Amino acid sequence: MLKAYRLLLDVSVSSFLNRTVYYLRRLPLVGRAIPESLYGSLEWKRAIAWLVLIAQLLWAVLNKGIYLGLMAYMPAMAINERNPELHSLELFLAILLPLSFLTASIWNARVFEPKRDKYVAVKLLRISATAYMKVTLTMRYTMFFLSFAIMLAFFMAVLGGTVIEGVLVAAVITGWRLLAELTHLIVFEHTGKIIIRSTILVWSSIVAGGALAYGLPLLGVSPAYGRVLLYLPLVLLVIASGLTVALMLARYKRYPEAVESATRRDDPLLNLGQFMADSRKAEVSMKTDDLTEEETVLADGAALPRADSDGYDYLNRLFFRRHRRLVRKPLWNRLAISVSVSALAVSALALIGDGATLTELARFVPYFAFSVFVGEKLCRALFYNCDMPLMRYGFYRQAVRKHYVLRLARLSGMNLLLSVAVGAVLTITAWFTGSLPDTSELIALWILLLAMALLISVHHMTVYYLLQPYTTEMNARNPLFFIVNMMLSAICAVAFVISPPIATLAVIALTLLLLYLVIALLLVSRFGAVTFRIK
C-alpha cells in the first residue's frame, strides 16, 4: 500500500512541478536561469514530494479551521451575543452536529468522487482499483482525523471545553464518516445507485442541515442537544463502529465496480477532456441572439458601424458592443446580489449591533473582494473572442500597453459602478436603521470600497497580460496564475482576521493600489510583448 501511495504522490508532484518549470522558463530574466534538465531530475522531485506531504497536512488543518470558524464558531458567537443565555459551546456543537453528521455524510463520498487523479491512476497507470481506494481512503481519513482533532481541540478550548473533548469529537466525526462511506458502497452494491449523484437528495440534505444547524438556535431553542457529541457511551460506540468499518473497508472486494462508475470517460462529472473544454468555451462564446440587426449586417461584412475612434480603441469598443451579454450579465447579476446582501446585512446587524454596523461590515470588504468584483470571466471572454487569434501577430503583442490601458479603464468602470452601488446601499440602509457611523468612518468606508474595486481590476487585467494562463482549450494551467491569486487572497484574508481600524484599512488598500498600478504599467510595457501569447 505504501508503494502505491508513493507512486501516486510521485505522479501528482511530477505533473505539478513540470508545469511549474515550463511556465517559469518562459518568464523574462528568471527563465534564463532555470535549466531544462530540471524536467528529468528525480532527486529534487522526490525531496519536494515530502514537502508536498507536509503541505497536504497543513492545508487540511487550515481547511478544517476555515470550515469550523466560518460555519460553526462565528455563527455560534453571533447567536450567543444576541442571546447570552445560550451557551456558546453548546451552540458550536449544535451547529456542527447536522452539518457534519447529516449534510456532509450524504454529499461527500470519496469512493464515488469523480476525479482526474483517479482516472489517471486506474485507467492510465493501471493501478489496481482496490489498491488505489485502500491507499486513498487510508490517507484521506488519517488526514481527516488529524486535522479535525487539531482544530476542534483549539475551538473547544476557546469555547470553554477541553482539548480531550475536541479530540473525542474529531474521533466521533471520523467514525461516522467511515460508516457513511460504507453505506454509500452498500447502497451502490445492492441498487446500483450513487447517492451523491441524486440532486434532490443532496440538496435536501443541505437545506435540512442548514435549517437544523442555524434555524433552531436562531429561534431560541436550547442547543443542549449538541452535547450528544460528548456523551461518552455514544462516543465510544461510534468510535468502535468506525474502527470496525475501517477493517471492513480494508477487506472490501468490490472497489473495481465503484471506481469504474466514477471514472467513465463519458461521465460529465469527471473533470477532464472534451466535456470541460466545451463547457468553458460555451460559457464565453457568442450566441446568435447576442447580435442585433445592425450587428448582423456588420458580421456579414455588408456595412461598418460609425465610430468616433480608430485602432485599438475601435477594436475595444467593438468587442464590448458585440459581447454585451458576456460583459453585462455578470455585472448586473453581481450588482443585484451585492446590493441585496448589503442591505440585508446592515438591517440584520442593526438589530443586534451597537451602532457601529458599517464599521463591523468594513472588515469583510477585502475578504469578499474576489467574489463581488468582476474581472476573471471578462479576461476569459477577451481571450476566446478577441485575443486568441490576434496573439499570433507581432504587431498586436507589441501594442499590449495600449489595449491593456483601454481594457483596464473599462473593467475599472464596471467595478467602480459595483462599489458605488454597494456603498450607496450601505449608507442609505444604515441611515434608515439609525446605525450610521461618524463622517470620518463613512468616508474611510467609501475610500476602501473604491480602492478595492480598482485594485481587483488592476490585478485581474495585469495577471492576464503578464501570465496569460489560458490555453486554446480554455484551461488555466499556469501554476504562477494560481500562486499570485492566492497571494492577494491571503492578504485580504489577513486583513479580515486582523481587522484593523477602517481608516487604516482604507490607507493600506489605497497604497497597495498605487504600488500595484505603477508596477503593473512598468511590467506590461517592458515584458507584455513576450508574455502575452498563446500557450
Angle, nearest 10°, between helix axes 88-98 and 199-210?
170
CA atoms within 13 A on the CB side of 349: 20
Mean local confidence (pLDDT), 177-191 = 92
Is the model more confident about 76 or about 14? Answer: 76
Q: Name the range with the highest mean pLDDT among 100-114, 283-297, 302-316, 327-341.
A: 100-114
Condensed to tens digits (0 to 9), the pLDDT of residues 237-249 reads: 999 999 999 999 9
Residue 279: pLDDT band with limits 50, 70, 90: very low
Which pLDDT value is given to residue 462? 93
pLDDT of residue 355: 45
**pLDDT at residue number 517:** 94
Identify the CA nearest to 184 among candidates 176, 146, 144.
176
**High-pLDDT (> 70) share of the chain, %:** 80
Query: Is the Cβ–Cβ distance between 94 and 231 less than 8 Å?
Result: no
**Closest by CA position to 455, among listed 489, 481, 406:** 489
Query: What are the residues whose beta carbons fall under 8 Å from the beta carbon of 391, sequence distance 6 or more?
Result: 397, 532, 533, 534
Judged by average pLDDT, the poorest of 146-150, 258-262, 461-465 is 258-262
Give kind and range of the element (H or E) at residue 338: helix 324-352
| Cα separation, 488 vs 458, whole angstroms | 12
pLDDT digits (tens, 9 = 90+) for 70-109: 889 988 888 887 777 888 898 999 999 999 998 888 988 8
User: What is the mean predicted confidence (pLDDT) over 520-534?
Assistant: 88
Band of the pLDDT at 271, cuts 50, 70, 90? very low
Task: Give me the mean pLDDT over the 194-202 stretch.
Answer: 84
Q: How far apart, in whole angstroms, are the C-alpha atoms of residue 73 and residue 80?
A: 10
Q: Distance (Å, rounded) from C-alpha 531 to C-alpha 535?
A: 10
Percent of the chain with pLDDT over 90: 20
Measure Cα distances from 430 to 82, 427, 482, 505 in Å: 19, 5, 37, 20
Q: What is the pLDDT of residue 275?
A: 43
Looking at per-residue pLDDT, the higher value among 135 and 334 belongs to: 135
Lowest-pLDDT choice from 45-49, 91-95, 259-263, 478-482: 45-49
Q: Which amino acid belongs to residue 377?
A: K
Q: Which cell numbers in the block locate residue 16? A: 505539478
Amino acid letter, residue 30 = V
Distance CA 345, CA 84 (A): 21
- Any idea which residue has 464518516 for its cell? 177
The larger pLDDT score, comparing residue 78 to residue 515, is at: 515
End-to-end CA distance of the chain: 38
- Residue 358: CB atoms within 10 A of its CB come to 25
pLDDT tens for 412-456 read 998 898 888 888 877 777 777 666 777 888 888 889 889 998 999
What pLDDT sits at residue 293? Answer: 42
Per-residue pLDDT, 354:
47
d(CA 178, CA 401): 55
Q: So where are the chain's domains?
A: 58-271, 312-531
Q: Are 474 and 280 in contact, with CB atoms under 8 Å apart?
A: yes
Which are the contacts of 15, defined by CB distance < 8 A and separation ≥ 6? none
- Residues 413 and 399: their CA atoms lie apart, in Å, by 22
Residue 478 pLDDT grade (very low, low, confident, very high; cuts 50, 70, 90)? confident
Q: How far apart are CA 102 and CA 10, in angstroms?
A: 35
Of residues 339, 465, 363, the one with CA closest to residue 407: 465
Whether the CB-CB separation of 155 and 169 falls below 8 Å is answered with no
pTM over 0.85: no
Phi/psi at 476 (nearest 5 deg)? -105, 95
Residue 270: predicted pLDDT: 42
**pLDDT for res 291:** 52
Helix axis angle, 439-467 to 479-498, nearest 10°: 170
pLDDT tens track for 106-123: 988 888 877 767 777 777
Task: Write down the pLDDT at residue 327.
Answer: 72
Q: How far apart are CA 134 and CA 494, in angstroms?
A: 38
What value does the mean pLDDT of the chain take? 79
**Beta carbons within 10 angstroms of residue 464's beta carbon:** 25
Backbone angles phi, psi at 303, to 5 degrees: -155, 160
Please tell me which residue, 482 or 309, carries the higher pLDDT value.
Answer: 482
Identify the weakest region by mean pLDDT among 139-143, 385-389, 398-402.
Answer: 385-389
Identify which of 195, 9, 212 has the alpha carbon closest to the alpha carbon of residue 94.
212
Please state which of the ranges 84-88, 229-233, 472-476 shows the lowest mean pLDDT: 472-476
